Amino acid sequence: MTKTELGTLKSDNSDYSSASAISADGRVVAGQATNDNNEDRAVLWSGPNWATKTDLGTLRSDNLGSSAATDLSDDQSVVVGYAHNENNEYRAVLWSGPNWATKTDLGTLKSDNSGQSFARKINADGTIVAGGSETDDRSGGYTGMVMALWKLAYTSTPDTAPEAEALPEYVVPDEPAPAPEPSPAPVEPAPAPQGPVVVAMVDVAKTQQTLHQLGADTFNLVSLQANALRRLQQGCIADNGFCYAVLNDFSQTTHSQDFMSGLRLGYGHNGLTLGLGFDRSHYRQLPDTYQAKRNNLGLSLFAHWEKDGWYLAPSVAWDKYQASIKRQALKNTEAGQNVSTIKGLGASLTFGKDIALASGNQIGWYGALRYSQVRRDGYTETGAEFPATYANLKFQDTALAVGLKSSVQLNPSLQWLASVEVEKSISNSAPTYKVNAPYIGNFQHEASVNSLRPKIQTGLRYNFAPSFNVDLMPYIQRAMFGSTQRGVSLNFTGKF
């Protein structure tokens, strides 16, 4: 192994130096070395045997102070590090241009661009810089210095000065006369080399926080959608003729609300009812990061067979809508966004028995096998310099449920209704939130599915006529993920 001592910036080559990075071809080394003023300076070693030393200087107008070079692009045209400014603050700096003479102060995350920052790494093409910066935020465990990313854009500048205009031609007269000497056209000075423009600068920790929050909101959305599929599978029961139901439901969790209406139409004969249903959400307050966009419609098919109080009720439901997804924007973060499609599929098979009691009262029990599937398509953010890409997300759940229900006749037109059920997940594929955010991080979180989900509801039914009822039913249940869901339904049912 060959060892080469690179030396320092002192005239006698003594004292301290360190190497931090090397170019892709190995021809240029970046680091720090002491000069004759005993200042630690950003330095590049290049040329044969790395014998040429280039002092990159500082951001001070007198070029005094300390600096360090920490990394360089693959083609060694761009170097990053930190250097003293006029206030003797260390600032993230980028050296570029001929002989790395152009210095660009990359700034800080503070609102007034004051304070200190530093650059540690730069990517291969010199467009992404990683380092640290002071911020205005010192709450929540922040010390004022956080990890930072800079996105850079380069502008080309002329390499040479523009050509001078040609001198005008003069015709010598027959009788020579003193002619004034023409003044040459002024030559515009070549523009000074310009450094890159900072397109974006972000706080890495807070950006990661927004990505984690979007994951929690996504799981909340999946739970909301699964419950909407359950409602969509409700039907109506006809005798020998037609039935209809107009269903209205308002539900909310900690971070979302949903107000939907639905229509059910069915035809019954000899104890068998067949029908279809439609649901549409009029107002859906999703988690802050999700906004319903269009195609918010659900469709269901249902059947109900009954004999001697026993019944069997299969159903299947589909829904689909598009949502505008926008990542939460905290200070020094980006609000990347895009549109994704959320699709749902649900099916159930319910069987049970209703038992008539004296005075018009009734009790019953039921059991059910239920299946739910919710999918959200993957997407890549737009409107961000550091866009994140989200993988497809899918949730599947198969559950068994048992329940008891009762109705008490309060007067000829009014009934009190109550039911309690317990649903137990017997098989599920928990949704996994996966996001790839280059330079920010890759994240993967799996939701914790509530395997036991009780539900209680109680309310009143008013019979306006033998063939027309109105039900008002508040309820509370445990959602599929974490939070409790509360709601109230107002249903109009009839037969003709």
Question: What does the domain layout of the chain look like in residue ranges?
Answer: 17-155, 203-495
- Check residue 143 and give its pLDDT: 61
* The pLDDT value given to residue 403: 97
What is the architecture of the domain spanning 203-495? Beta Barrel (2.40)
pTM to 2 decimal places: 0.81
What's the rounded Cα separation, in Å, for the pair 290 and 89?
42
Q: Which residues pair with 348 in a beta bridge?
A: 315, 370
C-alpha distances in angstroms, 206 versus 112, 118, 367?
A: 19, 18, 47
Q: What kind of architecture, by CATH, is found in domain 17-155?
A: 6 Propeller (2.120)
Report residues of the chain scoring pLDDT below 50.
157-173, 175-177, 184, 187, 189-192
pLDDT digits (tens, 9 = 90+) for 221-241: 888 888 889 999 999 999 899
Radius of gyration of the chain (CA): 36
pLDDT at position 181: 53
Angle in degrees, CA 153, 160, 163, rounded to 5: 130
Using alpha carbons, select from 97, 77, 75, 98 the residue that is nearest to residue 25.
75
pLDDT at 481: 81
Which candidate, 496, 495, 469, 474, places its Cα nearest to that of 486?
474
Q: What is the pLDDT of residue 156?
A: 61
Q: What does residue 177 show for φ and ψ, rounded to 5 degrees?
A: -135, 150
Pair 33, 11: CB distance under 8 Å: no
CB atoms closer than 10 angstroms to residue 93: 29
> What single-letter amino acid sits at 345?
L
The predicted structure's pLDDT at residue 168: 42
Residue 223's pLDDT is what?
Answer: 83
Say if residues 394 and 425 touch (Cβ distance below 8 Å): no
How many residues appear in the chain? 496
What does the alpha-carbon distance between residue 116 and residue 108 come to, in Å, rounded to a whole number?
Answer: 7
